[in-house]
Structure formats: structure tokens, C-alpha cells
């Protein structure tokens, strides 16, 4: 009987299945991995000690690291120390050996390197003491114990009872063995009757590509003690299509350049704009193969970084009905339930920032028994919540109820949320009360999850798919079991009291590498493998996504525990120790590098890529994204360049690189592979035909209705989309417009009572909003949708502006002093009075920011007082300040009621009446360019209405109050820029004819044109300056101007016309 050894469980399972197909049922087969071999020998020989579980190992190392550092280690450091300790034990170095290696190292070792090694040795020794105290062994101890036992048996001239009937050791797919595993295998070969067979994983002779694995292969072959006992073999050649075989022989070769290969489709490189599109193209190709009869087990997806592609692959494969099997399982921290649990834990010892609290409040796993507000995010933002130290959310929510005077039902919902948040804070505060054992923290966490309804929320909605419910339940079970195992490990160490921060960090370390196992479906599934998992396997079709720079090959950096300098320093004494410790088993000449450096590990990357390519029999598709979601460029991997250099690319039609468009093309109906593609094709056909019942797709209507698809509604939506772009470019061009579908309210109801109601007068800002974009006006002033804004720690500019207006309103009640010190003193006195009576509100931000902005505000007002006092007298005296005025603007067949609150009106008296009128508007801004544009002649009455309307209302108010205006009176408009240190004022003058309806162009014509569009219901998006207005518009999420293509078309027409637009656009 032969003993077969494999590097991975996948290659072992593959070999067992093949053996079962040829030999029938296998009983007590001898096919196993190296770890399984050591475990079998360890148990069969009755060696002392119980194998440790991973959570217990994590706890022991963290306990040792905390004792050595005298503080809690940061997340990830425990895993780094565990990896280095496992590496040392895999190399045959126990804790005592590591200490001796440090003693034997060079005396001139740099101090920081020596300190790092000393820290590692201390942690290693403490960890080993924990194992000895508990009577446990880790995998490294187990393997060393098996090796020592085999040495004793060899000296005694016997062999393990379990291997008594083993005639030969067959080592499959030799790749890279640890020194201990190499020593175990070499001893078994010496103990076996017929020695062993060493099988290389590749049938080719490309030594350059396999340099990393060649070291282990040569170690076996060159070992004199094994020379007469082993028979080297290469893997059996298999039939491979097209260029795959030739490329395997050429990849990474350093010899003379050979004749370029002609692309034949067996090797393709796909460049895709974005990972999501990359995964979609990959999964679609897999679906095509499955539809063509290819078995899912003959397809493989090889991913170097599963954390970047796992979620995308899972979601896209479910959409295309492609069964996937993840070899590594789903990381527990990728499950939304786990993220919610740790969001709660992170919240407990934080300031309850708005983003962190909203993450919890919007989680689907946390639900109150009562009804919550519909828009939790909008409510929290409107309440002005920043964090708990600024003001607790329950207090702000109750203040919001009083401030907005909410109705009874809405107030109940808001109160329910406030009460729930209070209970959450109280429960989380208990975690921080006092240190307690880990198990007590765990029990409190379970009770909290029950209290918050996490268990109740799992599966309570009939819309949640069954696989999601099963995943969440398994994740919760695994989370609790792993943490409970960690609690048991701490009990073995004395069950020390932990504060909450230590509990949370330890929980993260315990769960960091835990994964949800995924059972292989009975009907088969496409395996998603890591780069090392493919060793010894072959598939007909192989997909390798993620071939981007720094991702594959992976960028290696120095180990945080044992950097390259420390490894190079330890290698010489380590070789000396191992040669003494395993004399007769490990020849010092064959030891090489005991601890691998960054450069050594980087040499594995070309081999991993070579193995992925080597695994393909018929076709290998390599792909990479060309940009990030933010539009930043991503460059191809050097491996892509290495493949391309072997191909001839002078013929574009037969190029090895295929570049896909950003948006997926809509395939013909017969080639659609998922429901979304078919629906898009149907909608496209309906859109193109313009009819309600096209000939082709209508035959599938019954099928779609059987799946719950509303076919008639989709037809109507397709018809709407067909007209949308034309409508948004020019609403008058669509004759057969469906008013209901397009929201053309003027065709559904009369807008005159709403827009011409004297009780609802127009403000200048409404006119400017309508001129800037009719749709934004419709959303803000017709639908009355408030813009969604997030509170900020900084003080809102609007609050500062309101404060400045309130102070200046009092300041101009009497004429300002002409003496600068007196003016500043008066301004400060008024500011203190106003600030003393101003109630602190949400817009004030954090108190620290408020103190800074208040000081800035007072300095700006002092500067303004000095500026006004030092200006030469111009004869103007304040007539009105912060005065609300109303008036009526005649617009042909109707009149528009206007209203506005004017900051300041100053007049200059003359013998014949008023000879000058100055209308001022205060702006708490330094944006001079913006307000300079609003005072241009072509802007006044077109899209700039604030100061012209204020002036018109002022003239009516002056006439009403009995003032006489001189025929040639000067009419001035002025912005007073409070924050502009260089130029405080921007002025413009207009003539009295601007308010004469008989003039060619006057204020009322501009108002008439705008209100005429509004009364006609022309609210299609028509931004005044799309590149500026749309970028900062609060209603972008509701608008279809750019997504429909109308934005680009309108901009093109404007650029072509060169005069701001065509007549058709003006009527849109």
C-alpha cells in the first residue's frame, strides 16, 4: 500500500475522487495532507498533549504579548506574532532555540533589531509557558513531537505501527515545504520499505517560472541520505489547447526572444472600467459556458485578494444564477450581522458620532417594538445632532418636536426613537462601568442583542431570502461559539478582569480569521479559489480577475514583528542550531534560508501566476479594472505585460487584449442570461418601436407575468423613457405628452391660484431659483421639499449671516458714528446685547467652533464699523433697515405679488425731493466675483432679481410714505461684503426707466417671462449653468437631466449656438 501526500486538501480530494472512480469504494485510504499526516501519527503513537484550537492560541499569544508590552496590543499585532511563532516552529525552532539563536547572533547587531528579537523571544517563551501550564500543544509543537518520535524510531530500527503496511511514500505536487514537514517526509521515506516517489506539480521544464518551488524539489533530490530511496517524477503531460502550452514554457523566461505567438482565443486579457463591470463580464462568460454544457467543476475563478472580489462575485453570481463555492469560506467580518454587532461595540466607548450612531439606527437587524420615523437620517440631521458630548440625541429630538410643533402621530414616532436611543446608551454604558471577566462581557453582549431585537429581526420579514436568514443564524452561532472558546482559554489563565476596550480588541482578534464554511452543492458549483489552492488541479476554463498593479503580484512590506534585518541576523545561528538538533535528518548544506525575507516571499508571486495559467486546459481569461469607482486610473499588473510580450498584436482584429465599454451592452433576447438583461432588451425594443405591443417580445408576456413582472407598467415606462430626453431638451417638441407620467402639472391642474395667490407672494430668491433651474424651483417652492443637509461641527454660515444681520439692524437704527473708535465701541456693545439674547441652536455646531467663529464675527463687524466711519460723507442717511416691504408687479394679464426684507435703504435729500436712493444688502461672504456678476447689466432682471426687486419695492414704499422722488434721482444697488477685507462694497446704478412697463426691457418683462413658464407648468430641468448649478444642487437625486442624456445634448446645443441657446431651448 502506498501513502499519498498532497500539499492542499483540494488536491487530496481530487485524487481521492479519481481513485474512487477507477477502484470503486475506498476503505481506509492513505491520501492525506502533511498536516493530516502529522495529526494521524500524533494520535496513533499516543504522544502527550491535546491540540489547541485557534481561538485559544490567539488568547494565549495575546496574554503573552500584553505581559511583555505592559499594554493591550493593537488589532492585528496578535495575528502577526502568531504567524511568526508558527513560522519559527515550522522551521524547527522551539522557544529555547529562538533564545539560543539570539545569543549566537552577531554582537554588532543594531539595537532596534536586537530589541525586536528580544521582544519576540519573550513573547514566545511566555506563550510556550501558557501551553505547558494548560497541557496543550499547537500545530508546531505537534509536528516537532512527531519528528522527534520518528527520529527515535529510526535509531531504534522500528517504524510507527500505523505505517507498518506502507510500502512506499508518494509525494504529490512538491511545492514549498516547511523544514519540519520536509524532515518528517524524508524520515518516512527512509522508514518505508520501498522508499518514495517525488512528483513535480508541473509537466513542463520552465525553471525560471518555478524558481520558488525548485528549492524544495532540489532539497529532496540532492539529499544524499535519500539518493537511493526516491524516484523523481514530473507530472503527466495533459492535453492543453492552443497557446496555453507554449505560453507556459515561455512565461518569465530569460532566454533569447522567440517568435511571437498569434492570438487564438485560448489566452485573453480583458481590460474593464471598474471592478463591478469586470466581475459582471466574468460571471456572464461563466453563465455562457454553463449554458453550453460545461460542468461547473471544470471552471475555476482564481482570486488573489478575495476581500476585494468576494462580495461582488457573490452578488453578481446570484443575479446570473451561477452557483459558486468559496474555498476559503465567507469571512465572518464580511457578514452584515457581524458588522452590526461590532458597530454597537465601537459605539459603546465612543462619543456617539452622528455617522456611527446612524449606522446602528439604520441597521436592518435593530428594530424597536414601536413605530419609528420614516426618515431616521433626515430627522437626526434636522435635529442638529453631532455627537453625545455636544448634545444627546434624545434631548435634541424632543426639542425638535417642540420647535416644529409636530402632530400627535409623528411626535409619538420621534419620541419612540428618542426612548430607544436612551435605552441603547444606558445598556452600552453598563459595559464601561467596571472591569469584569471576558465571559461576563459576552453574556452582557448576548443580553443586549436580545434586548435590541437582533434575534427577532432575523427572519421576521418574508422578503428576506432563506439563504440570508441561514447565513445570519450561522454567523451568530459561530460568533458566540468562538468568543465562548476564548473565554474558556482566559479561564485557564486565571480569568483576569478585562475592561471593555480590552474585551472589544480581544473579540476582534478572535474573530479576525474566522470564516463561514460553505457546503459544496450536490449539483456542483464553480469553485472560487485562492492562488495557492490551485496547486495540483486542472480545469478546462480558468478566470483570473484582479491583475492590477500592486495587487497581483502583491506588494510585500517588512514583517511588523520580525523585519528583514532581524531575519538575516537570525538565519546563520538558526542553521547552526538546526544542524545540531536534527543531525542525520537535516543536512546543513540543504537548509538554505530558514526564515524567508520580503524578497524571498516576493519570489513566490510569479509562481502563483504561473500555476493559475498552468491550471487551464482550454481557455484562460486574465482581467483587470482600469479605474476606481472615483475615476482614478488603475494600471495593469506586470504579469499582464509579461503575457503580452509573447504575442503578436499587429492585427487589431486578433489582439490578445480586449477592452470592454463602461456600460454593458444589451444582448439580443435569445442571448440574455439573466432577467435584468431580458427586461432591458424588452424595454429597448419597446422604446425603439414606440408601440405598446411589439411583435417579438410580446410572446414572453405570459412568462414575465408568471414571475410577477408588471408587463403593462414596463411598457408604459419604456414609452416614457423614449420621450424623456426630447422632453427635457424641449418640452414643446413632445406633442403626445402624457401629463401624468411626466409630472406636467399645468396639464393636470390650474397653477394660477397657487402661484398668483396674494397671500403667498413671491420673494426675489424664488425668482432667482426659477431662473437658475425650473425643476429646482418646482422641488423647493411647489413641492416644498427641504434640501437634505448634514449638521457640521463648524458653525453654519447661515447662522453667522443671521447674527450679522440682527446686529447691523440695531447698528443702523441711528446714523453710525464718524469716529472709528466710537463706531467700534458701539458695534461691540450692540453685538454683546444680540448675542446675549440669541438662543443656542443646532446650526451653532460644536461649542469650540462657536467660540472661534464668534470671535471671527466680532472682528469682522469691528472692521466694518471702522470702514463705515472712515468713508467720506456722501449725503445718504438711513431711511429703512431690516424692513419688510410688499408690492405688486404688473405682468400683462396678471399681477405678481412681491415681498422682501431689505437690509438697509439710505436716501439723499435735495431741494426738490429725494435725489438718490441706495439699496444695500449685507452678505456674510467674501465671494466678490459671484455678486459682481449679479450686478451686470445683462443679469439684472434676467436671473438677478434680489436688489432690483428690493429697489422697486423701496420706490413704492417711499411713495406710500409720502416721499417725493426727483426726476433725475440716482438709483444705486449695493452689496456690502462683510468678510472682504479689500473691497467692502460692489455697486451698480440703474435708470428709472427700468421700472417703466413701456420700456423695451424692464424688470416686469423678466418677471413675466419667468412666471409665464411657471404658470404653463414648464418645470423641466433647465439649469442656467449646468456645470455649476447641477454640481451643488440639493435635488440632484430627483433630477433626470443628466442621466437621460438631455444635459449633454443641451450643453452641446449651447456650445454650437454660441449665444446661450436656441429659441427652442428658451421655450423648454
- Grid cell for residue 146: 512527531
Q: Give pLDDT, residue 65.
A: 92
Q: Give pLDDT, residue 653.
A: 53
Residues 6+ apart with CB under 8 A from 248: 202, 204, 206, 209, 240, 610, 613, 614
CA–CA separation, 330 and 316 (whole Å): 16
What domains appear along the chain, each with residue ranges and CATH number?
A: 2-44+166-233 (no CATH), 50-139 (1.10.10.160), 267-329+520-557+603-659 (3.40.50.300), 333-516 (1.10.486), 669-735 (no CATH), 740-788+1017-1066 (no CATH), 797-997 (no CATH)
Q: Give pLDDT, residue 394.
A: 92
In terms of DSSP H, where are the helices of 561-663?
564-581, 598-602, 604-614, 638-644
CA–CA separation, 455 and 341 (whole Å): 12
Closest CA to 831 of 879, 875, 864: 864
Measure the CA angle with vertex 112, ends 108 and 116; round to 5°: 110
Q: Give pLDDT, residue 106.
A: 76
Distances (CA, A) of 673 to 355, 619, 666, 681: 39, 21, 11, 11
Contact 1000, 756 (CB under 8 A): no
* Three-class DSSP category at 384: coil
Q: What is the dihedral of CA 786, 787, 791, 794, to 10 degrees?
A: -120
Q: Give pLDDT, residue 328.
A: 83
Contact 501, 349 (CB under 8 A): yes
End-to-end CA distance of the chain: 87
Relative orientation angle of helices 847-870 and 797-811, to the nearest 10 degrees? 40
Contact 634, 626 (CB under 8 A): yes
- Grid cell for residue 10: 483540494
593-602: long-range pairs with CB below 8 Å, 24+: 594/91, 594/93, 594/179, 594/570, 595/87, 595/88, 595/91, 595/562, 595/567, 595/570, 595/571, 596/567, 597/564, 597/567, 597/568, 598/556, 598/557, 598/558, 598/559, 598/564, 599/564, 601/556, 602/553, 602/556
Q: What is the dihedral of CA 993, 996, 998, 999, to 10 degrees?
A: 30
Q: Give pLDDT, residue 172.
A: 83
Contact 590, 222 (CB under 8 A): yes
Q: Give pLDDT, residue 249.
A: 80
CA–CA separation, 872 and 853 (whole Å): 31
CA–CA separation, 301 and 657 (whole Å): 19
**Omega before 178 within 30 of 0, i.e. cis:** no
Closest CA to 715 of 741, 736, 750: 741
Closest CA to 780 of 770, 771, 793, 795: 770
Q: Give pLDDT, residue 766.
A: 92
Q: Give pLDDT, residue 732.
A: 55
What residues pair up with 630 in beta bridges, in sequence order?
none
Measure the CA angle with vertex 341, ends 338 and 346; round to 5°: 120
CA–CA separation, 891 and 1002 (whole Å): 11
Neighbour order of strands in the sheet with 31-33: 31-33, 2-6, 168-174, 196-200, 230-233
CA–CA separation, 856 and 800 (whole Å): 10
Q: Give pLDDT, residue 207.
A: 41
Average pLDDT across each block of 10 residues of the chain; the chain has 1068 residues. List them in order: 86 83 74 90 89 91 90 87 92 90 84 91 94 91 91 86 83 80 84 76 47 46 47 54 80 76 89 92 93 93 90 90 88 89 91 91 79 86 87 90 87 91 90 90 90 71 75 90 93 88 91 85 87 88 93 87 90 88 73 83 85 90 91 90 83 75 73 76 63 51 72 74 72 53 59 84 92 88 82 84 89 87 92 83 75 89 89 86 89 85 91 90 82 87 90 92 88 88 83 79 86 83 73 80 75 64 38
Amino acid at each position: 500500500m502506498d501513502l499519498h501526500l498532497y500539499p492542499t486538501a483540494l488536491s487530496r480530494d481530487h485524487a481521492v475522487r479519481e481513485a474512487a472512480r477507477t477502484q470503486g469504494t475506498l476503505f481506509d485510504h492513505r491520501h492525506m495532507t502533511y498536516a493530516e499526516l502529522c495529526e494521524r501519527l500524533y494520535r496513533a503513537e499516543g504522544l502527550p498533549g491535546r491540540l489547541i484550537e485557534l481561538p485559544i492560541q490567539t488568547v494565549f499569544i495575546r496574554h503573552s504579548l500584553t505581559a511583555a508590552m505592559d499594554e493591550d496590543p493593537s488589532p492585528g499585532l496578535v495575528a502577526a506574532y502568531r504567524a511568526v511563532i508558527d513560522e519559527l516552529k515550522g522551521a524547527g525552532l522551539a522557544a529555547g532555540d529562538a533564545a539560543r539563536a539570539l545569543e549566537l547572533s552577531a554582537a554588532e547587531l543594531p539595537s532596534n533589531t536586537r530589541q525586536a528579537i528580544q521582544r519576540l523571544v519573550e513573547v514566545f517563551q511566555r506563550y510556550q509557558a501558557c501551553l505547558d501550564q494548560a497541557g496543550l500543544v499547537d500545530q508546531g509543537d505537534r509536528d516537532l513531537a512527531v519528528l522527534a518520535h520518528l527520529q527515535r524510531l529510526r535509531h531504534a530500527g522500528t517504524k510507527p505501527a500505523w505505517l507498518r503496511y506502507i510500502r512506499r511514500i508518494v509525494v504529490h505536487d512538491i511545492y514549498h515545504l516547511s523544514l519540519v514537514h520536509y524532515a518528517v517526509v524524508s524520515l518516512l521515506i527512509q522508514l518505508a520499505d520501498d522508499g518514495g516517489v517525488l512528483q513535480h506539480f508541473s509537466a513542463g521544464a520552465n525553471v525560471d517560472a518555478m524558481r520558488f518551488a525548485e528549492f524544495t524539489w532540489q532539497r529532496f533530490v540532492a539529499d544524499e541520505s535519500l539518493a537511493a530511496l526516491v524516484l523523481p517524477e514530473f507530472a503527466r503531460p495533459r492535453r492543453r489547447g492552443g497557446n496555453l502550452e507554449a505560453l507556459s514554457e515561455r512565461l518569465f523566461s530569460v532566454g533569447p526572444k522567440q517568435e511571437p505567438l498569434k492570438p487564438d482565443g485560448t489566452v485573453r486579457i480583458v481590460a474593464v472600467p471598474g471592478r463591478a463591470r469586470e466581475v459582471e463580464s466574468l460571471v456572464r462568460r461563466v453563465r455562457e459556458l454553463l449554458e453550453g454544457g460545461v460542468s461547473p467543476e471544470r471552471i475555476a475563478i482564481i482570486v488573489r485578494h478575495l476581500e476585494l472580489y468576494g462580495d461582488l462575485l457573490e452578488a453578481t453570481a446570484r443575479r446570473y444564477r451561477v452557483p459558486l463555492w468559496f474555498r476559503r469560506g465567507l469571512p465572518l467580518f464580511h457578514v452584515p450581522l457581524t458588522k452590526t454587532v461590532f458597530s454597537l461595540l465601537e459605539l459603546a466607548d465612543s462619543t456617539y458620532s452622528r455617522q456611527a450612531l446612524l449606522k446602528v439606527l439604520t441597521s436592518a437587524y435593530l428594530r424597536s417594538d414601536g413605530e419609528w420615523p420614516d426618515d431616521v437620517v433626515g430627522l437626526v440631521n434636522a435635529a442638529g445632532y453631532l455627537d453625545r458630548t455636544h448634545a444627546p440625541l434624545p434631548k435634541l429630538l424632543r426639542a425638535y418636536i417642540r420647535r416644529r410643533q409636530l402632530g400627535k402621530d409623528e411626535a409619538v414616532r420621534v419620541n419612540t426613537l428618542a426612548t430607544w436611543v436612551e435605552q441603547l446608551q444606558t445598556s452600552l454604558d453598563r459595559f464601561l462601568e467596571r472591569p469584569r471577566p471576558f465571559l461576563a462581557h459576552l453574556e452582557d453582549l448576548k443580553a443586549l442583542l436580545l434586548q435590541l431585537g437582533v434575534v427577532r429581526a432575523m427572519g421576521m420579514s418574508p422578503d428576506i431570502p432563506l439563504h440570508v436568514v441561514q447565513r445570519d443564524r450561522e454567523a451568530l452561532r459561530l460568533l458566540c461559539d468562538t468568543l465562548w472558546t476564548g473565554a474558556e482559554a482566559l479561564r485557564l489563565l486565571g480569568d483576569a478582569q478585562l475592561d471593555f476596550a480590552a474585551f472589544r480588541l480581544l473579540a476582534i482578534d478572535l474573530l479576525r480569521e474566522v470564516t463561514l464554511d460553505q457546503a459544496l452543492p450536490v449539483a456542483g458549483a464553480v469553485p472560487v479559489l485562492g492562488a495557492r489552492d490551485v496547486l495540483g488541479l486542472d480545469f478546462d476554463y480558468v478566470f483570473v480577475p484582479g491583475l492590477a498593479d500592486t495587487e497581483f503580484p502583491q506588494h510585500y512590506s517588512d514583517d511588523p514583528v520580525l523585519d528583514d534585518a532581524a531575519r538575516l541576523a537570525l538565519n546563520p545561528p538558526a542553521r547552526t542550531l538546526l544542524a545540531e538538533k536534527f543531525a542525520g535528518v537535516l543536512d546543513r548544506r540543504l537548509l538554505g534560508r530558514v526564515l524567508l525575507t520580503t524578497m524571498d516571499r516576493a519570489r513566490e508571486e510569479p509562481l502563483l501566476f504561473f500555476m493559475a495559467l498552468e491550471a487551464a486546459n482550454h481557455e484562460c481569461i486574465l482581467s483587470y479594472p482600469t479605474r476606481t469607482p472615483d475615476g482614478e486610473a488603475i494600471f495593469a499588473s506586470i504579469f499582464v505585460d509579461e503575457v503580452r510580450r509573447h504575442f503578436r498584436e499587429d492585427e487589431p482584429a486578433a489582439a490578445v487584449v480586449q477592452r470592454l465599454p463602461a456600460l454593458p451592452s444589451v444582448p439580443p433576447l435569445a442571448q440574455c442570461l439573466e432577467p435584468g438583461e431580458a427586461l432591458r432588451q424588452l424595454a429597448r425594443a419597446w422604446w425603439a418601436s414606440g408601440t405598446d405591443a411589439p411583435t417579438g417580445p410580446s410572446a414572453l408576456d405570459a412568462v414575465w407575468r408568471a414571475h410577477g413582472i408588471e408587463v403593462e407598467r414596463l411598457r408604459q415606462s419604456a414609452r416614457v423613457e423614449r420621450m424623456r430626453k426630447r422632453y427635457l431638451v424641449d418640452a414643446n417638441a413632445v406633442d403626445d405628452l402624457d401629463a401624468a407620467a411626466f409630472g406636467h402639472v399645468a396639464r393636470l391642474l390650474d397653477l394660477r391660484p397657487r402661484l398668483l395667490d396674494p397671500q403667498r407672494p413671491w420673494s426675489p430668491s424664488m425668482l432667482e431659483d426659477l431662473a437658475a433651474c425650473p425643476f429646482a424651483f418646482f422641488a423647493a417652492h411647489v413641492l416644498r421639499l427641504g434640501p437634505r443637509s448634514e449638521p457640521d461641527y463648524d458653525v453654519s454660515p447661515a447662522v453667522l449671516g443671521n447674527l450679522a444681520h440682527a446686529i447691523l439692524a440695531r447698528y443702523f437704527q441711528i446714523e453710525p458714528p464718524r469716529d472709528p473708535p466710537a463706531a467700534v465701541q458701539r458695534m461691540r456693545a450692540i453685538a454683546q446685547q444680540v448675542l446675549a439674547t440669541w438662543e443656542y441652536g443646532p446650526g451653532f455646531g460644536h461649542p469650540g467652533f462657536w467660540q472661534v467663529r464668534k470671535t471671527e464675527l466680532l472682528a469682522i463687524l469691528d472692521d466694518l464699523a471702522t470702514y463705515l466711519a472712515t468713508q467720506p460723507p456722501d449725503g445718504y442717511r438711513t431711511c429703512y433697515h431690516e424692513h419688510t416691504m410688499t408690492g405688486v408687479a404688473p405682468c400683462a394679464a396678471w399681477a405678481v405679488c412681491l415681498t422682501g426684507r431689505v437690509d438697509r435703504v439710505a436716501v439723499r435729500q435735495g431741494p426738490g425731493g429725494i435725489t438718490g436712493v441706495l439699496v444695500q444688502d449685507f452678505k456674510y461672504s467674501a465671494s466678490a466675483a459671484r455678486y459682481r456678476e449679479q450686478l451686470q447689466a445683462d443679469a439684472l432682471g434676467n436671473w438677478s432679481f434680489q436688489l432690483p426687486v428690493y429697489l422697486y419695492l423701496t420706490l413704492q414704499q417711499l411713495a406710500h410714505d409720502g416721499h417725493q422722488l426727483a426726476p433725475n434721482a440716482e438709483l444705486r444697488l449695493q452689496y456690502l461684503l462683510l468678510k472682504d477685507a479689500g473691497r467692502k462694497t460692489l455697486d451698480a446704478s440703474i435708470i428709472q426707466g427700468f421700472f417703466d412697463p413701456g420700456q423695451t426691457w424692464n424688470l416686469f418683462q423678466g418677471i413675466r417671462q419667468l412666471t409665464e413658464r411657471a404658470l404653463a407648468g414648464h418645470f423641466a430641468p433647465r439649469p442656467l449653468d449646468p456645470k455649476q448649478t447641477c454640481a451643488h444642487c440639493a435635488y440632484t437625486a430627483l433630477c433626470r437631466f443628466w442621466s437621460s442624456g438631455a444635459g449633454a445634448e443641451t450643453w452641446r446645443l449651447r456650445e454650437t449656438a454660441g449665444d446661450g441657446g436656441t429659441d427652442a431651448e428658451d421655450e423648454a
